[in-house]
Copies of this chain bind each other. A is one copy, B any other.
Amino acid sequence: MAKLLRLGVLLSGGGRTLENILDQIRAGKLAAEVAVVIASRPNIRGIDIGKAAGVPTHLVRPRDRAGVEAYSEAMCRLMDEARVDLILLAGFLSYWIVPKRYLGRVMNIHPALLPAFGGKGMYGHHVHEAVVARGCKVSGCTVHFVNNAYDEGPIILQRPVPVYAEDTPDDVAARVFREECIAYPEAIRLFSEGRLRIDGLRVHIDSPAYRRP
């Protein structure tokens, strides 16, 4: 039996994305295990979800560290100790630096079709409010590798959804989240099977399902 992919999860909030990953693992749809969870804020639901699943869960706060490099290193040492293969950002809002040894091994999911509605200040509900205010007819989600620029890493998968003029931001959020629950596990699977090859800002996917027709 193949070795399970070891995941490290960084989060700052409700932990809905962690919950989805854990559900997928329990359902046997994702051959992985969550080896460690790190929260950037105390008293958040994401911590409870990690603990309830029996995952070693830590609080590492930027304010408790002397600068962003010390903060990032503290988190990555915990990742090292947990022998993490892939770091997942799951609603993680703190500024950090990906050290060289983890470049190409950190993923994020963004609730819009990047480069639209990305960049600073564009997270969570702000994204869907902006989509509705612009009157878009399509939005979606983006799974990307994380480099050291906001929302500018190589894109792995994008899944579009329709948007209707009558939608509230909550409606769009719910529709996009359903696609996030498909896209993130799928990107993790492709990574674990060695099917992703980064080529500058492009990600080649070596799989029949993603072959150019």
Chain A: residues with CB nearer than 8 A to chain B? Answer: 113-117, 132-138, 140, 142, 154-160, 164-167, 171, 199-205, 210-212
Cα–Cα, bound, A93→B164 (Å)? 30
- A200 / chain B contacts, CB cutoff of 8 Å: 135
Q: Is the CB of A134 within 8 A of B201?
A: yes
Contact A135 B202 (CB under 8 A): yes
| Contact among B115, B140, B210, B212 for A134, CB-based, below 8 A | B115
Some 30 contacts from A to B, beta carbons below 8 A apart, are A113-B113, A113-B136, A113-B160, A114-B136, A115-B117, A115-B134, A115-B136, A116-B116, A132-B202, A133-B201, A134-B201, A135-B154, A135-B202, A135-B203, A136-B155, A137-B142, A137-B155, A137-B156, A137-B158, A138-B140, A138-B158, A138-B160, A160-B160, A164-B211, A165-B199, A165-B202, A165-B204, A166-B212, A167-B212, A171-B212
The answer for the CA separation of A136 and B202 in the assembled complex, in Å, is 8
A-B pairs, top 5 by smallest CB distance, nearest first, are A135-B202, A116-B116, A160-B160, A135-B201, A137-B158
Residues in B with CB closer than 8 Å to A115 are: 116-117, 134, 136
Contact B135 A210 (CB under 8 A): no
Residues of chain B within 8 A (CB-CB) of A205 are 165
Interface centre among A138, A156, A200, A204, by most chain B C-beta atoms within 10 angstroms, is A138
Q: Which residue of B lies closest to A160 (CB)?
A: B160
With A113-B136, A164-B212, A165-B205 given, can you name 17 additional A-B contacts, CB distance below 8 Å?
A114-B136, A115-B117, A116-B116, A133-B201, A134-B155, A134-B201, A135-B154, A135-B202, A135-B203, A136-B158, A137-B156, A137-B157, A140-B160, A165-B199, A165-B203, A167-B212, A171-B212
Looking at the complex, which one of B113, B134, B155 makes contact with A135 (CB distance below 8 Å)? B155
